[in-house]
Chains A and B, each alone.
Chain A
């Protein structure tokens, strides 16, 4: 399983864009990159997933450089409700999808 490294915490203000970078130097060829969001006392919630280049959905964008050794989750115009822990996970979708959670990034959005 590829090990991931993320910043422990990030602070932002409402309306700003938040970018969280995750390092995964040992990512394997079949590994996908998935980001989850977790609020206190709740299970993680899927945000976005990608393999390479850029992926965008209604809540976030995911940027993956050509070497795939890192990825950046971009949250546009955050609100107070985006305060949560964000996890970057790397795993092989074609196999057992056994994911290992790192420490995550605690994002705090202030008014």
Chain B
């Protein structure tokens, strides 16, 4: 299947700083990418849909000024957590929609564990 690379795998930052997470589709073009967050022992919660060349669509309750999403190319979407606080500590996962294959169309990154001190 197609590969989605997510970087970094983990990051520790001080409260008030910003953190950028990258999501790359390595061998396919992804016009649509999704960003999720996951707290311990809980399921994935969709945060936003990222479309190449246009503004992201945020789910209800997700602050768009807090979680900045940029999808400038067909292979890269970034999530920036601005002015991070301890409550932003979570596991962030991206996924990319591939239109090349018949069956498997959604591929996930390996996730980024963010810890805000």
- Interface of A with B (CB < 8 Å)? 34, 36, 41-46, 49, 87, 93, 96-104
Q: Classify the interface of chain B: helix, strand, loop or mixed.
A: strand
Residue pair B106, A97 in contact (C-beta under 8 Å): yes
Residue pair A96, B108 in contact (C-beta under 8 Å): no
For B, the interface residue count at a CB cutoff of 8 angstroms equals 26
Residue pair B32, A97 in contact (C-beta under 8 Å): yes
Residue pair B104, A101 in contact (C-beta under 8 Å): no
A107 CB → nearest B CB, Å: 15
* B71-106 to A contact mask, C-beta < 8 Å, 1/0: 000000000000000000001011101000001111
Residue pair A43, B49 in contact (C-beta under 8 Å): no
With A41-B91, A43-B111 known as contacts, the answer to whether A96 contacts B32 (CB < 8 A) is: yes
Residue pair A44, B108 in contact (C-beta under 8 Å): yes
Residue pair B108, A43 in contact (C-beta under 8 Å): yes
Contact of A49 among B103, B107, B111 (CB under 8 A): B103
